[in-house]
Structure 1
């Protein structure tokens, strides 16, 4: 079931809601530069195990409205708060991949974990996607600058290049084409603006405010959010569990989908 939630007078966020009668809720927030369809291989399985799976398209991406601005972590976390309140979600699991992991981390700090009983971070772009003084574990800012330039100059080529960086395992041509099309569903300016947030925003002050049990899943071959980010998150978040995916890059939800689904279900209970 799909519908829209208004988060600003002129901005509506698309919500995909599967098995809405269940009280065991997982809210998924996707990564850059795709949309909620990234979690297709979770939505295929988890509702059959009794879970309500809710996927949102971040503003500017997928089926959501595409305003010119509003791509800061604060604004995107506020969008989640509107959705949580509108749907009346309580005692739910909040899950984020890549920049979605950064956004849900900001949600936990900015909104004091409102309604969340458990947090799941998948290849999260936190506490910083890029290298910072005293923090050498992210991408170089110049690498993100290049992604932004390519987005404005030749976005299809950028997406094609990024597909090869995203996954560790060999892709079929149809799957690669499918992933490529997810990126094209976004607005180009939204893709670039969110990359600016990835480049410039940090979450060092946020991770220590997380008070709920947290699952951290990360591929050892990740070239987008480097593996050491997961180690830092695990050290900084009390009551966290870190699970490595030995045969995955950034796309661990597909590359080791069975293990991914099993670890998530075991964590939620």
Structure 2
């Protein structure tokens, strides 16, 4: 399996599907508490259309090494930078879902956009996820604390409740429930270290406003308006106001895991944006 060794010696797993004669390169960053496997529908579709696709397992997640330290967004950004530089990727399209949006925003804040042509934020926790006096529509910090305490008390139980309910929107009346998606989410999520998935929640309390305001490249913002994890008001609707070259796409009734619940639409959105 492909790994790179990071600056602290940690082993960092990635996938690199590179069709012969590929015309573009897309780099994916996954959400909490998953891995690169979360992107398999998009990666297969784009690679089948002649596009190189790269995705990594964030440190402490999936098949990457479970380091005790450096489970924070600044180090994630630096890890991503090392991967991009070691593979010598250029003119890439960066795509982040949920927490992955925090990672790619912080990457550009710390490393610039010299290797990035475009960005895509899907149901991303940017610019500001946590509630504050000047961000009243955000998620209350006690709710984030509940995520932390639930993981410490009974992570296995919590990692069944999240995909069964709000993550895929399966708790909505009339929802078409996929037990396979629930089981897959649990299987991938439970692979991550408790330390890493716990500390991931710290990234949700950061402010990524300046990173988004500084972006001067095209950015596509996609979200469902029934996202029960990231409120659309503090996600897509807030992000698009900050981006100089942003395009907004809202999926009516769309859930947080819109890549899985609306894969055909998301895949086509990505392909069209990449080729534009």
Query: Please, which runs of 5 or more residues in structure 1 have no aligned partner?
Result: none
Aligned with residue 219 of structure 1, among 224, 245, 248: 224
Give secondary structure in 1 for the equivalent of 2:210.
coil
Q: Determine the C-alpha separation between the residues in 1 that align with 2:9 and 2:150.
A: 29
Matched residue, 2:182:
176
Q: Determine the C-alpha separation between the residues in 2 that align with 1:121 and 1:49.
A: 21
Matched residue, 1:249:
255
**1:65 counterpart = 2:65:** yes
* Contact map agreement 1:247 1:256 (CA 8 A) in 2: no
**1:205 counterpart = 2:210:** yes
- Aligned-residue offset at 1:175: 2.3
Q: Determine the C-alpha separation between the residues in 2 that align with 1:238 and 1:131.
A: 25
> C-alpha root-mean-square deviation of aligned residues, in Å?
1.2
Q: Determine the C-alpha separation between the residues in 1 that align with 2:110 and 2:202.
A: 20
Q: Determine the C-alpha separation between the residues in 1 that align with 2:259 and 2:161.
A: 20
* Contact map agreement 2:102 2:203 (CA 8 A) in 1: no
Q: Determine the C-alpha separation between the residues in 1 that align with 2:34 and 2:149.
A: 18
Map 1:117-132 to 2 at 5 A.
117-132=117-132
Give secondary structure in 2 for the equivalent of 1:221.
coil
- What TM-score, normalized to structure 2? 0.93
Map 1:222-233 to 2 at 5 A.
222-228=227-233, 229-233=235-239
* Contact map agreement 2:167 2:256 (CA 8 A) in 1: yes
- Aligned-residue offset at 1:115: 0.2
Give secondary structure in 1 for the equivalent of 2:14.
strand
Matched residue, 2:105:
105
Question: How many residues are paired up?
Answer: 267
Give secondary structure in 2 for the equivalent of 1:93.
strand
Q: Determine the C-alpha separation between the residues in 1 that align with 2:19 and 2:182.
A: 31
Give secondary structure in 2 for the equivalent of 1:8.
coil
Give secondary structure in 2 for the equivalent of 1:216.
strand
Q: Determine the C-alpha separation between the residues in 2 that align with 1:25 and 1:186.
A: 27
- Aligned-residue offset at 1:45: 1.2
Q: Determine the C-alpha separation between the residues in 1 that align with 2:124 and 2:219.
A: 12
